[in-house]
Structure 1
Amino acid sequence: MTDQQPRPLKGAWGMTALLLLFMLINFADKVVVGLAAQPIMADLKLSPEQFGLLGSSFFFLFAISGVVVGFITNRVQTRHTLLVMAIIWSVVQFPMLGTVTLEMLIACRIILGAGEGPAAPVALHSIYKWFPDQLRGMPTAIIAQGSALGVIIAVPTLNWIIVNYSWHWAFGALGIAGLCWVVLWLIFGREGTLVDQPAHVAEGMVERVPYRRLLTCPSIVAACCAGFASYWGLALGLTWFTSYLVDGLGYSQTVGGNLTILPWIFGMCVVLAGGWLSQRLKKAGVSSRLSRGVLAASTVALGGCILPFVGSMPTPGLKVAFLVVGAAIGSSIYVVTPMIVSELTPQPQRAAMLAITSSIITLAGVIAPLAMGATIQNASSPVVGYEQGYVILGGLLLAGGIIGLLFIRPEADRARLAAHTVMLPVAVPARA
């Protein structure tokens, strides 16, 4: 490999495919509760606030687990942590095949959230060991699209299982899928060997920046603000979107469940296009501020301008269209945030910083389903409550997008962080 023509390692795209499948299962696990919202609420006799608690419970340990495992993954090979996570996801689905109470369902979702919290940052840290910085746009976008593909592929199948069998078997099917991935990973999973070692760093030394400097870096904080607002919308999509279609707009479970894929199809197109464009601009010499910051933050703000009009649309079809576009058009923030963090963070600290920022962003998942449940329960009608919740989301997206536009400046922040960088000897032999 030369500096002039950076290339991914041999086998990098095969690993990308495996990690795409990993994230596909990850998001199928997330969406199943929202997809089965009406049957679960009917069987367990849940109020909207109780179901909101169930939706939020997935995120109770999500952020904490992400941070803890992120620091562990600074020292442990990613292939091991990925394997343990997938085993946890799989095993925790099977209790749903028996008699289920709200308490049991919440407990299993909390454990599942703890297992899935580190998934995205660890998967990205893993693939960044296969691709140099200039070529990370597309693999980041592809892995991020495990979320959309997980929904697009799984929703029709899970919805068919829910309609023709029961929501219990939808959970069981996901457990089986998780175990299949575990087998594939045991056979094919490997660790990348690419090390981001700047030219000015001497052999046997590593760069480090105090975490307080990284966590208060304006670019990282602003990316987290935009990502938090966008994840608020994602959490509502996971928990309440199908219920809005069925309970709010009057679609059947079959039609409403199948329509659930629409935001994810649109989001997938946005993320892949955004990742491709960001990488192309970066390779062409465009600044990270423009190719990563402005590109993503402007679409987040645009989504915030669209969503307040959902309630004023005259037909259910137009309501769905405005909701889909408004909630998903800013999805490229999920691609650029880890690239910004990676650009500003020395590799020995990268796994932890990816995990910390991911955990900050996904804290929206704790609040959003609960807030929507309370809004629906206290509104004059369910449809009014849903649409009030989407106005709140629009305000958050607009604020997050503006913060991103103003403060995501990676080049300036990299120069500031350089003043606080220290060189330390490698304490232990570097792991592959």
Structure 2
Amino acid sequence: MTVTSGHAAPQSRRAWIIVGMMVLFMLINFADKSVIGLAAGPIIKDLHLTNEQFGQIGSAFFLLFSISAASVGFLVNRVSTRSVLAGMALIWAMSQLPILAFPSLAVLLGSRIALGAGEGPAFPVALHAIYKWFPDDRRAFPTSFVSIGGPLGIGLAAPLLTWIILTYSWHAAFGFLGAVGFVWVALWLIIGKEGPLDARHVEAGGAGLEHVPYSMLLTSRTFIGVTLAGFAAYWAVTLAVVWLPSFLVKAGGYSPTATGWIVMLPPMLQACLSPTLGYMSQRLLARGVSSRISRGVLTCCCVMLAGVAMMLLSKSTGELVQIPLVMVAFAVGSVTYALGPPLIGEISPVHQRGAMLGICNGTFTLAGLIAPWLMGHIVDVGVNPAQGFRDGFMFAGLLIVAGGALAMIIINPKDDLRRFARREAVTAAEGVPAVQV
């Protein structure tokens, strides 16, 4: 991006203000997600649910989540991210309020489905917004900050939401989050602005390619690998959101108040780890290390480490062992959300980037449709709830390790870009115009 020196500093400040708003955006997003897990005990008791039924409520959140993520991804290729982000946050806030007034199973289910539809595109749209402010070689660091907004939403909100649940009621916590959402919308309408990088800037993505057929983009090694790593890591994310508090109470023997504080530890670790590794990745890239290594291998190693920690957690006893394993299992794998999206941005022409980020997000978050229900089922059929949780975490750990290992083998942006360039050269030689969507 070429700018005059007189405008560089203000533009840089504005870019980081937008990053800050996206961090808050994702913080609210994950606080909305996590409240269901923090309120699991009272909800199961008040609504007379089995563990599997509660798991189905957790999975219901993802019923329209993936469809929405992919659909809105195409929308932001043509519509300003400023207006789309405001509309999404407004849906979040409005979907929480009915639970405050009518705390029933039907209303809770409807609210979570609507919330999932509104929150599905959150991460890819937030990244598409900041990628309009940062060229490809400077994206890993700001992406890492946006990616920690989610865990901060769990970590910072957990003690506060637990206090609201214990002091007032579980439905009061939902109402509180609705109010917070309205405040963010008001601030965004004042502060939000579109970035200057667009399709005229070849450094914005896609190595200067004008258009690549979606059939090639979606079957590329990098897209498949990033999606696999994201799916594996998101399995852990959804288990943390829906079931980690219950595991700590029923299998770990912790009190609800202690659980609220323990739940905030993985996000605190991720808040340190993601920017650190994002900056490290960016420095490695600047020194000539390939993107496959500096982004792909680094993120896949983190995913596999999280899976190993989760398997060890399933066999652990005692807080001196359990708490560190909880931190590693539910924090380290999420580094993929700092380093994976820049890989998608790297191979995607800029006018297709929003859709590609949305499709990737919509695909890997399908883990959220399966993991909460499956864990609830395993807990119900287990010898006892504690053993059921341990069996569920062992299965999850194996799945996460496998996903990270396969992704490491597959990801190769340089190979993908060479293939895309060859296809574009052939198309140009034949005089076939590119069809842009």
Normalising by the residue count of structure 1, what TM-score does the alignment of the two structures yield? Answer: 0.93
The residue number in structure 1 matching 2:382 is 379
Q: Which runs of 5+ in 1 are unaligned?
A: none
Letter of the structure 2 residue corresponding to residue 164 of structure 1: T
The residue number in structure 1 matching 2:236 is 233
The residue number in structure 2 matching 1:251 is 254
Letter of the structure 2 residue corresponding to residue 353 of structure 1: M
The answer (yes or no) to whether the contact 1:223–1:404 under 8 Å persists in 2 is yes
* CA gap 1:200/1:184 in 2 versus in 1, 3 angstroms: closer
Q: Does 1:74 align with 2:77?
A: yes
What is the deviation of 1:206? 7.2
Q: Give distance in 1, aligned partners of 2:184 and 2:203.
A: 41
Identity fraction in percent: 45
Q: Give distance in 2, aligned partners of 1:345 and 1:266.
A: 31
Q: Give distance in 2, aligned partners of 1:297 and 1:324.
A: 18
What is the deviation of 1:317? 4.0
The residue number in structure 2 matching 1:129 is 132
The residue number in structure 2 matching 1:165 is 168
The residue number in structure 2 matching 1:355 is 358
How far does the alpha carbon of each residue in 1:344-402 deviate from its partner, in whole angstroms, 9 at most, with x for none?
00001000000000011100000000000000000001111111111111111111111
The residue number in structure 1 matching 2:307 is 304
Structure 2 matches for 1:298-377, cutoff 5 A? 298-377=301-380
Q: Give distance in 1, aligned partners of 2:156 and 2:316.
A: 29
The answer (yes or no) to whether the contact 1:270–1:331 under 8 Å persists in 2 is no
Q: Give distance in 2, aligned partners of 1:199 and 1:40.
A: 51
Q: Does 1:141 align with 2:144?
A: yes
Q: Give distance in 1, aligned partners of 2:240 and 2:50.
A: 19
Q: Give distance in 2, aligned partners of 1:255 and 1:316.
A: 11
- The 3-state SS of whatever aligns with 1:330 is helix
Letter of the structure 2 residue corresponding to residue 35 of structure 1: L
2:98 to 81, 89, 95: 95
The answer (yes or no) to whether the contact 1:206–1:425 under 8 Å persists in 2 is no
What is the deviation of 1:425? 8.1
2:411 to 408, 411, 424: 408
The residue number in structure 1 matching 2:40 is 37
The residue number in structure 2 matching 1:49 is 52
What's the C-alpha RMSD, in Å, of the aligned pairs? 2.2
What is the deviation of 1:153? 1.7
Q: Does 1:390 align with 2:390?
A: no
Q: Give distance in 2, aligned partners of 1:176 and 1:313.
A: 39
The residue number in structure 2 matching 1:278 is 281
Q: Does 1:108 align with 2:111?
A: yes
More helix by share: 2
The residue number in structure 2 matching 1:23 is 26
- The 3-state SS of whatever aligns with 2:423 is coil
Q: Give distance in 2, aligned partners of 1:88 and 1:413.
A: 37
1:191 to 191, 194, 201: 194
What is the deviation of 1:2? 4.5
The answer (yes or no) to whether the contact 2:155–2:266 under 8 Å persists in 1 is no
* CA gap 1:419/1:102 in 2 versus in 1, 3 angstroms: same
The residue number in structure 1 matching 2:156 is 153
Q: Give distance in 1, aligned partners of 2:412 and 2:435.
A: 30
Letter of the structure 1 residue corresponding to residue 33 of structure 2: K
The answer (yes or no) to whether the contact 1:159–1:258 under 8 Å persists in 2 is no
What is the deviation of 1:268? 2.2
The answer (yes or no) to whether the contact 2:61–2:116 under 8 Å persists in 1 is yes
The residue number in structure 2 matching 1:261 is 264
What is the deviation of 1:258? 2.0
Q: Give distance in 1, aligned partners of 2:202 and 2:80.
A: 24
The answer (yes or no) to whether the contact 1:93–1:171 under 8 Å persists in 2 is yes
1:216 to 204, 215, 219: 219
The residue number in structure 2 matching 1:61 is 64
Q: Give distance in 2, aligned partners of 1:375 and 1:141.
A: 34
Q: Give distance in 2, aligned partners of 1:58 and 1:427.
A: 33
What is the deviation of 1:137? 1.1
What is the deviation of 1:410? 1.0
What is the deviation of 1:211? 0.3
Normalising by the residue count of structure 2, what TM-score does the alignment of the two structures yield? Answer: 0.92
What is the deviation of 1:199? 5.6
Letter of the structure 2 residue corresponding to residue 88 of structure 1: I
Q: Give distance in 2, aligned partners of 1:229 and 1:200.
A: 30
The answer (yes or no) to whether the contact 2:70–2:358 under 8 Å persists in 1 is yes
The residue number in structure 1 matching 2:291 is 288
